[in-house]
Chain A
Protein backbone atom coordinates (compact mmCIF):
# COMPACT_ATOMS: atom_id res chain seq x y z
CA UNK A 1 0.00 0.00 0.00
CA UNK A 2 2.68 2.42 1.04
CA UNK A 3 5.00 1.53 -1.83
CA UNK A 4 2.12 1.84 -4.29
CA UNK A 5 1.41 5.32 -2.99
CA UNK A 6 5.08 6.19 -3.20
CA UNK A 7 5.21 4.98 -6.79
CA UNK A 8 2.09 6.95 -7.67
CA UNK A 9 3.29 10.11 -5.92
CA UNK A 10 4.85 11.79 -9.01
CA UNK A 11 1.64 11.28 -10.96
CA UNK A 12 -0.43 12.75 -8.13
CA UNK A 13 1.90 15.74 -8.09
CA UNK A 14 1.57 16.13 -11.86
CA UNK A 15 -2.20 15.94 -11.62
CA UNK A 16 -2.41 18.53 -8.87
CA UNK A 17 0.05 20.82 -10.68
CA UNK A 18 -1.85 20.55 -13.96
CA UNK A 19 -5.14 21.30 -12.23
CA UNK A 20 -3.67 24.33 -10.49
CA UNK A 21 -2.07 25.69 -13.63
CA UNK A 22 -5.18 25.05 -15.71
CA UNK A 23 -7.34 26.79 -13.14
CA UNK A 24 -4.96 29.73 -12.94
CA UNK A 25 -4.81 30.16 -16.69
CA UNK A 26 -8.57 29.98 -17.08
CA UNK A 27 -9.03 32.59 -14.37
CA UNK A 28 -6.50 34.88 -16.01
CA UNK A 29 -8.19 34.39 -19.37
CA UNK A 30 -11.63 35.11 -17.96
CA UNK A 31 -10.43 38.32 -16.38
CA UNK A 32 -8.53 39.28 -19.52
CA UNK A 33 -11.87 39.34 -21.30
CA UNK A 34 -13.22 41.68 -18.65
CA UNK A 35 -10.04 43.77 -18.71
CA UNK A 36 -10.32 44.10 -22.45
CA UNK A 37 -13.83 45.42 -22.26
CA UNK A 38 -13.02 47.86 -19.51
CA UNK A 39 -9.71 49.10 -20.96
CA UNK A 40 -11.22 49.44 -24.42
CA UNK A 41 -14.01 51.37 -22.79
CA UNK A 42 -11.59 53.74 -21.07
CA UNK A 43 -9.68 54.27 -24.30
CA UNK A 44 -12.93 55.01 -26.08
CA UNK A 45 -14.10 57.44 -23.42
CA UNK A 46 -16.60 55.26 -21.61
CA UNK A 47 -16.48 52.78 -18.76
CA UNK A 48 -16.80 49.10 -19.51
CA UNK A 49 -19.14 46.71 -17.76
CA UNK A 50 -19.73 47.68 -14.15
CA UNK A 51 -23.14 46.25 -13.33
CA UNK A 52 -22.33 42.70 -12.39
CA UNK A 53 -20.44 42.86 -9.13
CA UNK A 54 -18.27 45.75 -7.97
CA UNK A 55 -16.40 47.22 -10.90
CA UNK A 56 -17.89 44.49 -13.09
CA UNK A 57 -15.65 41.89 -11.49
CA UNK A 58 -18.22 39.11 -11.71
CA UNK A 59 -18.85 39.77 -15.40
CA UNK A 60 -16.90 36.71 -16.63
CA UNK A 61 -19.20 34.43 -14.68
CA UNK A 62 -22.24 36.14 -16.11
CA UNK A 63 -20.75 35.70 -19.57
CA UNK A 64 -20.10 32.03 -18.94
CA UNK A 65 -23.66 31.49 -17.79
CA UNK A 66 -24.94 33.29 -20.85
CA UNK A 67 -22.86 31.14 -23.17
CA UNK A 68 -24.04 27.94 -21.54
CA UNK A 69 -27.70 28.86 -21.64
CA UNK A 70 -27.82 30.19 -25.19
CA UNK A 71 -29.52 28.28 -27.96
CA UNK A 72 -27.09 26.07 -29.84
CA UNK A 73 -27.62 26.53 -33.57
CA UNK A 74 -25.98 24.06 -35.93
CA UNK A 75 -26.09 24.79 -39.67
CA UNK A 76 -27.98 22.12 -41.53
CA UNK A 77 -25.55 21.42 -44.36
CA UNK A 78 -22.42 21.58 -42.26
CA UNK A 79 -20.11 18.62 -41.92
CA UNK A 80 -21.20 17.70 -38.43
CA UNK A 81 -18.16 15.81 -37.18
CA UNK A 82 -15.65 18.42 -38.29
CA UNK A 83 -17.96 21.21 -37.12
CA UNK A 84 -17.91 19.80 -33.61
CA UNK A 85 -14.23 18.93 -33.74
CA UNK A 86 -12.89 22.35 -34.72
CA UNK A 87 -13.40 24.30 -31.46
CA UNK A 88 -12.05 21.37 -29.49
CA UNK A 89 -8.88 21.30 -31.59
CA UNK A 90 -8.48 25.06 -31.23
CA UNK A 91 -8.88 25.05 -27.48
CA UNK A 92 -6.78 21.93 -26.84
CA UNK A 93 -3.92 23.24 -28.95
CA UNK A 94 -4.16 26.56 -27.14
CA UNK A 95 -4.10 24.98 -23.67
CA UNK A 96 -1.36 22.42 -24.22
CA UNK A 97 1.62 24.79 -23.81
CA UNK A 98 0.69 25.40 -20.15
CA UNK A 99 2.80 22.44 -19.08
CA UNK A 100 6.09 24.05 -20.06
CA UNK A 101 5.63 27.51 -18.61
CA UNK A 102 8.22 28.34 -15.95
CA UNK A 103 6.00 29.87 -13.32
CA UNK A 104 8.79 30.55 -10.89
CA UNK A 105 12.21 29.53 -9.62
CA UNK A 106 12.99 26.33 -7.80
CA UNK A 107 12.07 26.30 -4.13
CA UNK A 108 14.81 24.68 -2.11
CA UNK A 109 12.80 23.28 0.76
CA UNK A 110 9.12 24.11 0.49
CA UNK A 111 7.81 21.79 3.24
CA UNK A 112 10.78 21.85 5.55
CA UNK A 113 9.09 24.17 8.03
CA UNK A 114 6.37 21.53 8.52
CA UNK A 115 8.70 18.70 9.52
CA UNK A 116 9.40 19.67 13.18
CA UNK A 117 5.67 19.74 13.88
CA UNK A 118 4.81 16.30 12.55
CA UNK A 119 8.01 14.29 13.02
CA UNK A 120 7.49 11.11 14.95
CA UNK A 121 3.71 11.31 15.16
CA UNK A 122 2.77 8.02 13.50
CA UNK A 123 2.15 7.06 9.89
CA UNK A 124 0.71 10.39 8.87
CA UNK A 125 3.76 12.21 10.22
CA UNK A 126 6.09 9.85 8.41
CA UNK A 127 4.18 10.45 5.21
CA UNK A 128 4.56 14.21 5.62
CA UNK A 129 8.27 13.83 6.30
CA UNK A 130 8.67 11.66 3.22
CA UNK A 131 6.72 14.12 1.06
CA UNK A 132 8.82 16.99 2.41
CA UNK A 133 11.94 15.03 1.46
CA UNK A 134 10.59 14.44 -2.07
CA UNK A 135 9.67 18.09 -2.46
CA UNK A 136 13.16 19.43 -2.01
CA UNK A 137 14.38 21.57 -4.89
CA UNK A 138 10.89 21.72 -6.27
CA UNK A 139 10.66 23.26 -9.72
CA UNK A 140 7.68 25.42 -10.55
CA UNK A 141 7.30 24.00 -14.03
CA UNK A 142 5.03 21.06 -14.74
CA UNK A 143 7.16 19.41 -17.42
CA UNK A 144 10.77 20.29 -18.06
CA UNK A 145 10.88 19.41 -21.74
CA UNK A 146 14.28 19.78 -23.38
CA UNK A 147 12.77 21.28 -26.50
CA UNK A 148 10.29 23.59 -24.76
CA UNK A 149 10.39 26.40 -27.32
CA UNK A 150 9.81 24.00 -30.21
CA UNK A 151 7.01 22.35 -28.29
CA UNK A 152 5.15 25.64 -27.89
CA UNK A 153 5.69 26.57 -31.54
CA UNK A 154 4.59 23.12 -32.69
CA UNK A 155 1.44 23.03 -30.64
CA UNK A 156 0.38 26.52 -31.70
CA UNK A 157 0.84 25.49 -35.31
CA UNK A 158 -1.60 22.62 -34.71
CA UNK A 159 -4.05 25.28 -33.52
CA UNK A 160 -4.32 26.52 -37.10
CA UNK A 161 -6.41 23.44 -37.85
CA UNK A 162 -9.15 24.55 -35.50
CA UNK A 163 -9.65 27.69 -37.53
CA UNK A 164 -9.28 26.17 -40.99
CA UNK A 165 -11.64 23.29 -40.21
CA UNK A 166 -14.15 25.63 -38.58
CA UNK A 167 -14.18 27.86 -41.60
CA UNK A 168 -14.68 24.99 -44.01
CA UNK A 169 -17.16 22.90 -42.09
CA UNK A 170 -19.62 25.73 -41.51
CA UNK A 171 -20.63 25.56 -45.16
CA UNK A 172 -20.87 29.34 -45.44
CA UNK A 173 -19.00 31.74 -47.72
CA UNK A 174 -18.01 34.13 -44.95
CA UNK A 175 -16.72 31.35 -42.78
CA UNK A 176 -14.72 29.76 -45.57
CA UNK A 177 -13.08 33.02 -46.60
CA UNK A 178 -12.43 33.99 -43.03
CA UNK A 179 -11.04 30.58 -42.16
CA UNK A 180 -8.73 30.43 -45.16
CA UNK A 181 -7.48 33.96 -44.67
CA UNK A 182 -6.95 33.42 -41.00
CA UNK A 183 -5.02 30.20 -41.44
CA UNK A 184 -2.93 31.66 -44.27
CA UNK A 185 -2.07 34.59 -42.03
CA UNK A 186 -1.21 32.34 -39.12
CA UNK A 187 1.09 30.06 -41.05
CA UNK A 188 2.83 33.01 -42.69
CA UNK A 189 3.61 34.69 -39.41
CA UNK A 190 4.66 31.46 -37.72
CA UNK A 191 7.82 31.62 -39.82
CA UNK A 192 8.78 35.08 -38.64
CA UNK A 193 7.95 34.08 -35.09
CA UNK A 194 10.15 31.00 -35.20
CA UNK A 195 12.98 32.86 -36.88
CA UNK A 196 12.93 35.63 -34.28
CA UNK A 197 13.32 33.09 -31.50
CA UNK A 198 16.51 31.69 -33.03
CA UNK A 199 18.54 34.64 -31.75
CA UNK A 200 17.44 34.02 -28.18
CA UNK A 201 18.17 30.31 -28.51
CA UNK A 202 21.64 31.12 -29.80
CA UNK A 203 22.37 33.38 -26.86
CA UNK A 204 21.19 30.83 -24.33
CA UNK A 205 22.44 27.64 -25.97
CA UNK A 206 19.34 25.63 -25.13
CA UNK A 207 15.72 25.23 -26.18
CA UNK A 208 14.55 24.58 -22.63
CA UNK A 209 12.55 27.48 -21.22
CA UNK A 210 14.09 27.12 -17.77
CA UNK A 211 17.52 27.06 -19.41
CA UNK A 212 16.75 30.27 -21.27
CA UNK A 213 15.83 31.99 -18.01
CA UNK A 214 19.02 30.67 -16.41
CA UNK A 215 21.01 32.03 -19.35
CA UNK A 216 19.40 35.41 -18.86
CA UNK A 217 20.31 35.39 -15.19
CA UNK A 218 23.91 34.63 -16.07
CA UNK A 219 24.23 37.04 -18.94
CA UNK A 220 25.55 40.58 -18.47
CA UNK A 221 22.40 41.95 -20.09
CA UNK A 222 20.07 40.34 -17.54
CA UNK A 223 17.08 40.41 -19.91
CA UNK A 224 17.46 39.34 -23.53
CA UNK A 225 15.34 42.21 -24.75
CA UNK A 226 18.45 44.39 -24.68
CA UNK A 227 20.68 42.47 -27.08
CA UNK A 228 17.72 41.06 -29.03
CA UNK A 229 15.60 44.18 -29.45
CA UNK A 230 15.10 43.43 -33.13
CA UNK A 231 14.02 39.87 -32.39
CA UNK A 232 11.69 41.15 -29.72
CA UNK A 233 9.96 43.56 -32.07
CA UNK A 234 9.59 40.88 -34.77
CA UNK A 235 8.29 38.38 -32.23
CA UNK A 236 5.78 40.83 -30.83
CA UNK A 237 4.39 41.78 -34.24
CA UNK A 238 4.22 38.14 -35.33
CA UNK A 239 2.48 37.35 -32.08
CA UNK A 240 -0.22 39.88 -32.87
CA UNK A 241 -0.72 38.20 -36.23
CA UNK A 242 -0.65 34.70 -34.80
CA UNK A 243 -3.45 35.39 -32.40
CA UNK A 244 -5.57 37.18 -35.01
CA UNK A 245 -5.61 40.39 -33.02
CA UNK A 246 -5.75 43.95 -34.23
CA UNK A 247 -4.12 45.22 -36.37
CA UNK A 248 -4.17 41.79 -38.00
CA UNK A 249 -7.75 40.79 -37.30
CA UNK A 250 -9.19 41.07 -40.80
CA UNK A 251 -10.31 37.43 -40.75
CA UNK A 252 -12.70 38.17 -37.95
CA UNK A 253 -13.55 41.79 -38.55
CA UNK A 254 -17.24 42.46 -38.30
CA UNK A 255 -17.45 44.87 -41.19
CA UNK A 256 -15.58 42.60 -43.55
CA UNK A 257 -16.63 39.05 -43.00
CA UNK A 258 -19.46 39.14 -40.48
CA UNK A 259 -17.43 37.22 -37.97
CA UNK A 260 -15.01 35.21 -40.07
CA UNK A 261 -14.50 31.59 -39.30
CA UNK A 262 -16.74 31.57 -36.24
CA UNK A 263 -19.77 33.11 -37.93
CA UNK A 264 -21.86 29.97 -37.72
CA UNK A 265 -20.90 29.02 -34.21
CA UNK A 266 -23.17 29.86 -31.31
CA UNK A 267 -23.28 29.42 -27.57
CA UNK A 268 -20.70 27.18 -26.04
CA UNK A 269 -18.77 26.35 -29.21
CA UNK A 270 -18.27 30.05 -29.81
CA UNK A 271 -17.21 30.40 -26.20
CA UNK A 272 -14.56 27.74 -26.83
CA UNK A 273 -13.19 29.69 -29.81
CA UNK A 274 -13.27 32.88 -27.81
CA UNK A 275 -11.41 31.25 -24.98
CA UNK A 276 -8.93 29.71 -27.41
CA UNK A 277 -8.12 33.17 -28.76
CA UNK A 278 -7.47 34.56 -25.30
CA UNK A 279 -5.46 31.54 -24.21
CA UNK A 280 -3.36 32.01 -27.35
CA UNK A 281 -2.82 35.61 -26.27
CA UNK A 282 -1.74 34.37 -22.88
CA UNK A 283 0.61 31.81 -24.41
CA UNK A 284 2.30 34.36 -26.58
CA UNK A 285 2.59 36.84 -23.72
CA UNK A 286 4.24 34.16 -21.60
CA UNK A 287 6.64 33.36 -24.43
CA UNK A 288 7.52 37.06 -24.79
CA UNK A 289 8.15 37.27 -21.07
CA UNK A 290 10.23 34.13 -20.84
CA UNK A 291 12.29 34.69 -23.98
CA UNK A 292 12.89 38.42 -23.78
CA UNK A 293 12.00 39.68 -20.34
CA UNK A 294 13.66 37.03 -18.22
CA UNK A 295 10.51 35.20 -17.13
CA UNK A 296 10.31 35.25 -13.38
CA UNK A 297 13.76 36.82 -12.95
CA UNK A 298 13.82 40.22 -11.32
CA UNK A 299 17.37 41.61 -11.39
CA UNK A 300 18.49 42.44 -7.92
CA UNK A 301 15.85 40.45 -6.09
CA UNK A 302 18.45 37.85 -5.22
CA UNK A 303 20.15 40.40 -2.98
CA UNK A 304 17.01 41.27 -1.03
CA UNK A 305 15.45 37.85 -0.58
CA UNK A 306 17.28 34.58 -0.45
CA UNK A 307 17.09 32.66 -3.74
CA UNK A 308 15.41 29.30 -3.16
CA UNK A 309 13.24 30.51 -0.33
CA UNK A 310 9.47 30.48 -0.56
CA UNK A 311 9.31 34.29 -0.37
CA UNK A 312 11.68 34.65 -3.31
CA UNK A 313 9.61 32.19 -5.32
CA UNK A 314 6.35 33.94 -4.51
CA UNK A 315 7.69 37.40 -5.38
CA UNK A 316 9.26 36.06 -8.57
CA UNK A 317 5.99 34.38 -9.50
CA UNK A 318 4.10 37.62 -9.01
CA UNK A 319 6.71 39.42 -11.08
CA UNK A 320 6.15 36.85 -13.84
CA UNK A 321 2.37 37.37 -13.69
CA UNK A 322 2.87 41.14 -13.73
CA UNK A 323 5.03 40.93 -16.86
CA UNK A 324 2.52 38.68 -18.60
CA UNK A 325 -0.32 41.01 -17.65
CA UNK A 326 1.58 43.98 -19.00
CA UNK A 327 1.83 42.22 -22.36
CA UNK A 328 -1.89 41.46 -22.24
CA UNK A 329 -2.50 45.14 -21.51
CA UNK A 330 -0.34 45.97 -24.52
CA UNK A 331 -2.56 43.73 -26.65
CA UNK A 332 -5.68 45.52 -25.47
CA UNK A 333 -4.08 48.94 -25.83
CA UNK A 334 -3.06 48.23 -29.42
CA UNK A 335 -6.55 46.97 -30.16
CA UNK A 336 -8.03 50.25 -29.06
CA UNK A 337 -5.55 52.34 -30.97
CA UNK A 338 -4.63 50.96 -34.37
CA UNK A 339 -6.69 50.39 -37.53
CA UNK A 340 -6.47 47.07 -39.26
CA UNK A 341 -4.40 45.88 -42.18
CA UNK A 342 -5.90 44.88 -45.47
CA UNK A 343 -5.23 41.27 -46.21
CA UNK A 344 -2.73 41.76 -49.04
CA UNK A 345 -0.89 44.38 -46.97
CA UNK A 346 -0.82 41.88 -44.16
CA UNK A 347 0.70 39.10 -46.26
CA UNK A 348 3.22 41.45 -47.85
CA UNK A 349 4.25 42.68 -44.44
CA UNK A 350 4.73 39.19 -43.11
CA UNK A 351 6.65 37.71 -46.00
CA UNK A 352 8.54 40.64 -47.43
CA UNK A 353 9.38 42.60 -44.32
CA UNK A 354 9.17 40.62 -41.10
CA UNK A 355 10.73 37.38 -42.31
CA UNK A 356 13.81 39.09 -43.85
CA UNK A 357 14.09 41.18 -40.69
CA UNK A 358 14.04 38.08 -38.53
CA UNK A 359 16.66 36.42 -40.72
CA UNK A 360 18.81 39.54 -40.52
CA UNK A 361 18.52 39.30 -36.75
CA UNK A 362 19.72 35.70 -36.93
CA UNK A 363 22.73 36.70 -39.02
CA UNK A 364 23.65 39.60 -36.74
CA UNK A 365 23.29 37.45 -33.66
CA UNK A 366 25.43 34.74 -35.21
CA UNK A 367 28.21 37.20 -35.98
CA UNK A 368 28.02 38.74 -32.53
CA UNK A 369 28.01 35.39 -30.75
CA UNK A 370 30.91 34.13 -32.82
CA UNK A 371 33.11 37.11 -32.12
CA UNK A 372 32.15 37.58 -28.50
CA UNK A 373 32.26 34.01 -27.35
CA UNK A 374 35.03 32.39 -29.22
Chain B
Protein backbone atom coordinates (compact mmCIF):
# COMPACT_ATOMS: atom_id res chain seq x y z
CA UNK B 1 0.00 0.00 0.00
CA UNK B 2 2.72 2.41 0.95
CA UNK B 3 4.55 1.37 -2.20
CA UNK B 4 1.59 2.42 -4.34
CA UNK B 5 1.32 5.79 -2.63
CA UNK B 6 5.05 6.37 -3.04
CA UNK B 7 4.90 5.26 -6.66
CA UNK B 8 2.18 7.78 -7.44
CA UNK B 9 4.08 10.54 -5.68
CA UNK B 10 7.29 9.83 -7.58
CA UNK B 11 5.53 9.25 -10.87
CA UNK B 12 3.62 12.49 -10.45
CA UNK B 13 6.85 14.33 -9.77
CA UNK B 14 8.45 12.74 -12.82
CA UNK B 15 5.56 13.77 -15.06
CA UNK B 16 5.50 17.28 -13.62
CA UNK B 17 9.24 17.65 -14.19
CA UNK B 18 8.92 16.32 -17.72
CA UNK B 19 6.17 18.79 -18.54
CA UNK B 20 8.22 21.56 -16.97
CA UNK B 21 11.21 20.54 -19.06
CA UNK B 22 9.25 20.84 -22.27
CA UNK B 23 7.49 24.03 -21.21
CA UNK B 24 10.35 26.32 -20.16
CA UNK B 25 11.94 28.69 -22.62
CA UNK B 26 15.09 29.07 -20.56
CA UNK B 27 17.30 26.06 -21.34
CA UNK B 28 18.76 25.92 -17.85
CA UNK B 29 15.34 25.47 -16.28
CA UNK B 30 14.75 22.62 -18.73
CA UNK B 31 18.01 21.03 -17.66
CA UNK B 32 17.09 21.31 -13.98
CA UNK B 33 13.68 19.78 -14.71
CA UNK B 34 15.40 16.89 -16.47
CA UNK B 35 17.50 16.33 -13.36
CA UNK B 36 14.25 16.20 -11.40
CA UNK B 37 12.96 13.55 -13.82
CA UNK B 38 16.07 11.45 -13.30
CA UNK B 39 15.86 11.68 -9.53
CA UNK B 40 12.23 10.59 -9.49
CA UNK B 41 13.00 7.74 -11.90
CA UNK B 42 15.73 6.67 -9.52
CA UNK B 43 13.21 6.56 -6.68
CA UNK B 44 10.87 4.44 -8.81
CA UNK B 45 13.72 2.01 -9.49
CA UNK B 46 14.18 1.73 -5.73
CA UNK B 47 10.51 0.84 -5.37
CA UNK B 48 11.09 -1.91 -7.95
CA UNK B 49 13.83 -3.43 -5.74
CA UNK B 50 16.68 -2.40 -8.03
CA UNK B 51 18.99 -0.46 -5.73
CA UNK B 52 22.04 -0.68 -7.94
CA UNK B 53 20.26 0.74 -10.98
CA UNK B 54 18.74 3.49 -8.84
CA UNK B 55 22.07 4.63 -7.47
CA UNK B 56 23.82 4.32 -10.81
CA UNK B 57 21.05 6.41 -12.38
CA UNK B 58 21.81 9.22 -9.92
CA UNK B 59 25.56 8.77 -10.21
CA UNK B 60 25.81 8.63 -13.99
CA UNK B 61 22.79 10.42 -15.39
CA UNK B 62 22.10 13.12 -12.84
CA UNK B 63 25.65 13.40 -11.62
CA UNK B 64 27.72 13.28 -14.80
CA UNK B 65 25.71 13.55 -17.99
CA UNK B 66 23.49 16.38 -16.80
CA UNK B 67 26.52 18.21 -15.41
CA UNK B 68 27.89 18.10 -18.93
CA UNK B 69 24.63 19.46 -20.33
CA UNK B 70 24.55 22.23 -17.71
CA UNK B 71 28.15 23.13 -18.55
CA UNK B 72 27.29 23.38 -22.23
CA UNK B 73 24.33 25.63 -21.49
CA UNK B 74 26.40 27.86 -19.26
CA UNK B 75 29.39 28.11 -21.57
CA UNK B 76 27.36 28.67 -24.69
CA UNK B 77 25.26 31.29 -22.92
CA UNK B 78 22.16 30.13 -24.73
CA UNK B 79 19.38 32.64 -24.84
CA UNK B 80 15.82 31.88 -24.18
CA UNK B 81 13.87 30.39 -27.02
CA UNK B 82 11.80 33.04 -28.74
CA UNK B 83 9.33 31.72 -31.28
CA UNK B 84 9.32 34.15 -34.17
CA UNK B 85 6.42 33.02 -36.27
CA UNK B 86 3.81 30.76 -34.93
CA UNK B 87 2.72 28.15 -37.44
CA UNK B 88 -0.88 28.15 -36.38
CA UNK B 89 -2.00 25.50 -38.81
CA UNK B 90 0.23 23.01 -37.11
CA UNK B 91 -1.58 23.37 -33.80
CA UNK B 92 -4.43 21.23 -35.13
CA UNK B 93 -2.04 18.51 -36.30
CA UNK B 94 -0.27 18.53 -32.95
CA UNK B 95 -3.54 18.36 -31.07
CA UNK B 96 -4.80 15.51 -33.24
CA UNK B 97 -1.65 13.49 -32.73
CA UNK B 98 -1.85 14.16 -29.01
CA UNK B 99 -5.38 12.80 -28.89
CA UNK B 100 -4.24 9.69 -30.79
CA UNK B 101 -1.45 9.19 -28.26
CA UNK B 102 -3.91 9.58 -25.40
CA UNK B 103 -6.23 6.98 -26.91
CA UNK B 104 -3.30 4.58 -27.28
CA UNK B 105 -2.36 5.12 -23.63
CA UNK B 106 -5.93 4.46 -22.52
CA UNK B 107 -5.93 1.29 -24.56
CA UNK B 108 -2.75 0.14 -22.83
CA UNK B 109 -4.36 0.79 -19.45
CA UNK B 110 -7.41 -1.17 -20.50
CA UNK B 111 -5.31 -4.10 -21.70
CA UNK B 112 -3.28 -4.13 -18.50
CA UNK B 113 -6.35 -4.10 -16.29
CA UNK B 114 -7.99 -6.83 -18.33
CA UNK B 115 -4.93 -9.06 -18.08
CA UNK B 116 -5.29 -11.52 -15.23
CA UNK B 117 -2.53 -11.95 -12.72
CA UNK B 118 -0.79 -8.61 -12.99
CA UNK B 119 0.75 -8.76 -9.53
CA UNK B 120 4.46 -9.23 -10.08
CA UNK B 121 6.46 -10.45 -7.16
CA UNK B 122 9.74 -8.66 -6.81
CA UNK B 123 12.49 -11.25 -6.82
CA UNK B 124 14.76 -10.04 -4.09
CA UNK B 125 17.99 -11.48 -5.45
CA UNK B 126 17.88 -10.09 -8.95
CA UNK B 127 18.50 -6.37 -8.50
CA UNK B 128 21.40 -6.33 -6.15
CA UNK B 129 24.97 -5.66 -7.09
CA UNK B 130 26.20 -9.22 -6.68
CA UNK B 131 23.78 -10.71 -9.16
CA UNK B 132 24.32 -7.90 -11.67
CA UNK B 133 28.06 -8.36 -11.41
CA UNK B 134 27.84 -12.10 -11.81
CA UNK B 135 25.59 -11.77 -14.84
CA UNK B 136 27.83 -9.13 -16.36
CA UNK B 137 30.93 -11.24 -16.21
CA UNK B 138 29.54 -14.64 -17.08
CA UNK B 139 26.46 -14.65 -19.25
CA UNK B 140 26.71 -11.13 -20.72
CA UNK B 141 30.48 -10.82 -20.96
CA UNK B 142 30.56 -10.22 -24.71
CA UNK B 143 28.08 -7.33 -24.65
CA UNK B 144 29.99 -5.73 -21.77
CA UNK B 145 33.26 -5.89 -23.69
CA UNK B 146 31.62 -4.51 -26.83
CA UNK B 147 30.16 -1.61 -24.84
CA UNK B 148 33.63 -0.96 -23.44
CA UNK B 149 35.08 -0.77 -26.94
CA UNK B 150 32.26 1.55 -28.02
CA UNK B 151 32.96 3.90 -25.13
CA UNK B 152 36.65 3.85 -25.97
CA UNK B 153 35.79 4.78 -29.55
CA UNK B 154 33.67 7.66 -28.31
CA UNK B 155 36.44 8.96 -26.05
CA UNK B 156 39.06 8.75 -28.77
CA UNK B 157 36.69 10.41 -31.21
CA UNK B 158 36.03 13.22 -28.76
CA UNK B 159 39.73 13.81 -28.16
CA UNK B 160 40.57 13.74 -31.85
CA UNK B 161 37.71 15.96 -32.95
CA UNK B 162 38.35 18.61 -30.32
CA UNK B 163 42.09 19.03 -30.72
CA UNK B 164 43.30 22.38 -31.95
CA UNK B 165 45.00 22.36 -35.31
CA UNK B 166 46.12 25.94 -35.57
CA UNK B 167 47.51 26.87 -32.20
CA UNK B 168 51.12 28.04 -32.30
CA UNK B 169 53.54 25.95 -30.35
CA UNK B 170 53.83 27.29 -26.87
CA UNK B 171 57.59 26.79 -26.80
CA UNK B 172 58.07 29.00 -29.82
CA UNK B 173 56.15 31.79 -28.15
CA UNK B 174 58.13 31.38 -24.94
CA UNK B 175 61.44 31.34 -26.80
CA UNK B 176 60.54 34.49 -28.70
CA UNK B 177 59.68 36.26 -25.46
CA UNK B 178 62.95 35.19 -23.85
CA UNK B 179 64.97 36.45 -26.82
CA UNK B 180 63.13 39.75 -26.74
CA UNK B 181 63.89 40.19 -23.07
CA UNK B 182 67.56 39.38 -23.55
CA UNK B 183 67.83 42.04 -26.23
CA UNK B 184 66.19 44.58 -23.96
CA UNK B 185 68.56 43.77 -21.14
CA UNK B 186 71.56 44.10 -23.46
CA UNK B 187 70.39 47.54 -24.62
CA UNK B 188 69.94 48.94 -21.13
CA UNK B 189 72.63 50.99 -19.41
CA UNK B 190 74.43 49.04 -16.73
CA UNK B 191 73.29 50.21 -13.32
CA UNK B 192 75.83 51.55 -10.91
CA UNK B 193 75.62 49.89 -7.56
CA UNK B 194 76.57 51.98 -4.54
- CB proximity of A206 to chain B, nearest CB, Å: 8
- Write out the residue numbers on chain A whose beta carbons fall within 8 Å of the beta carbon of B28: 79, 82, 165, 168
Question: Would you call B70 and A164 a contact (CB within 8 A)?
Answer: yes
- CB proximity of B59 to chain A, nearest CB, Å: 4
Question: Would you call A145 and B51 a contact (CB within 8 A)?
Answer: yes
Q: Which of B26, B29, B63 has the most CB of A within 10 A?
A: B63
Question: Would you call B67 and A176 a contact (CB within 8 A)?
Answer: no
Question: Would you call B74 and A180 a contact (CB within 8 A)?
Answer: yes
**The residue from B26, B58, B67, B129 contacting A154, defined by CB atoms under 8 A apart:** B58
- Write out the residue numbers on chain B whose beta carbons fall within 8 Å of the beta carbon of A146: 51-52, 128-129
Question: Would you call A160 and B55 a contact (CB within 8 A)?
Answer: no
- Write out the residue numbers on chain A whose beta carbons fall within 8 Å of the beta carbon of B63: 154, 157-158, 160, 190
Assembled-state Cα–Cα distance A176/B71 (Å): 11
Known contacts being A146-B51, A150-B55, A157-B63, is A165 close to B129, with CB within 8 Å? no
- Write out the residue numbers on chain B whose beta carbons fall within 8 Å of the beta carbon of A343: none
Q: What secondary structure prevails in chain A residues at the interface with B? A: helix
Asked if A207 is an interface residue, CB under 8 A from chain B, the answer is yes
Asked if B64 is an interface residue, CB under 8 A from chain A, the answer is yes
Question: Would you call B59 and A153 a contact (CB within 8 A)?
Answer: yes
Asked if B47 is an interface residue, CB under 8 A from chain A, the answer is no
- Write out the residue numbers on chain B whose beta carbons fall within 8 Å of the beta carbon of A333: none
Known contacts being A79-B28, A82-B32, A146-B129, is A180 close to B71, with CB within 8 Å? yes
Asked if B14 is an interface residue, CB under 8 A from chain A, the answer is no
B75 to chain A: closest residue by CB = A180
- CB proximity of A31 to chain B, nearest CB, Å: 30
**The residue from B32, B58, B67 contacting A155, defined by CB atoms under 8 A apart:** B58
- Write out the residue numbers on chain A whose beta carbons fall within 8 Å of the beta carbon of B21: none
- Write out the residue numbers on chain A whose beta carbons fall within 8 Å of the beta carbon of B29: 81-82
- Write out the residue numbers on chain B whose beta carbons fall within 8 Å of the beta carbon of A84: none
Contact residues of B between 65 and 84, Cβ < 8 Å to A: 66-67, 70-71, 74-75
- Write out the residue numbers on chain B whose beta carbons fall within 8 Å of the beta carbon of A151: 55
Question: Would you call B70 and A161 a contact (CB within 8 A)?
Answer: yes
- Write out the residue numbers on chain B whose beta carbons fall within 8 Å of the beta carbon of A164: 67, 70-71, 74
Question: Would you call B74 and A158 a contact (CB within 8 A)?
Answer: no
Assembled-state Cα–Cα distance A155/B129 (Å): 18
Known contacts being A79-B28, A168-B28, is A147 close to B129, with CB within 8 Å? yes
Question: Would you call B74 and A154 a contact (CB within 8 A)?
Answer: no
Asked if A74 is an interface residue, CB under 8 A from chain B, the answer is no
- CB proximity of A154 to chain B, nearest CB, Å: 4
**The residue from B32, B62, B66, B129 contacting A207, defined by CB atoms under 8 A apart:** B129
Contact residues of B between 22 and 53, Cβ < 8 Å to A: 26, 28-29, 32, 35, 51-52
**The residue from B26, B58, B74 contacting A176, defined by CB atoms under 8 A apart:** B74
- CB proximity of A215 to chain B, nearest CB, Å: 14
Known contacts being A147-B51, A150-B55, A183-B71, is A157 close to B64, with CB within 8 Å? yes
B57 to chain A: closest residue by CB = A154
Asked if A330 is an interface residue, CB under 8 A from chain B, the answer is no
Assembled-state Cα–Cα distance A153/B55 (Å): 9
Asked if B56 is an interface residue, CB under 8 A from chain A, the answer is yes
- CB proximity of A356 to chain B, nearest CB, Å: 15
Assembled-state Cα–Cα distance A360/B64 (Å): 23
- Write out the residue numbers on chain A whose beta carbons fall within 8 Å of the beta carbon of B51: 145-147
A179 to chain B: closest residue by CB = B74
- Write out the residue numbers on chain B whose beta carbons fall within 8 Å of the beta carbon of A179: 74
Add 5 more A-B contacts to A155-B58, A157-B62, A157-B63 (CB < 8 A): A147-B129, A150-B56, A154-B58, A158-B63, A183-B67
Nearest 8 interchain pairs by C-beta: A157-B63, A154-B59, A154-B58, A150-B55, A168-B74, A147-B55, A147-B51, A154-B55
Question: Would you give 14 A-B contacts (Cβ < 8 Å), ordered by A?
Answer: A82-B29, A146-B128, A146-B129, A147-B55, A154-B59, A154-B62, A157-B63, A161-B67, A164-B74, A165-B28, A167-B74, A180-B71, A180-B75, A187-B67
**Chain B residues engaging chain A, CB cutoff 8 angstroms:** 26, 28-29, 32, 35, 51-52, 55-56, 58-59, 62-64, 66-67, 70-71, 74-75, 128-129
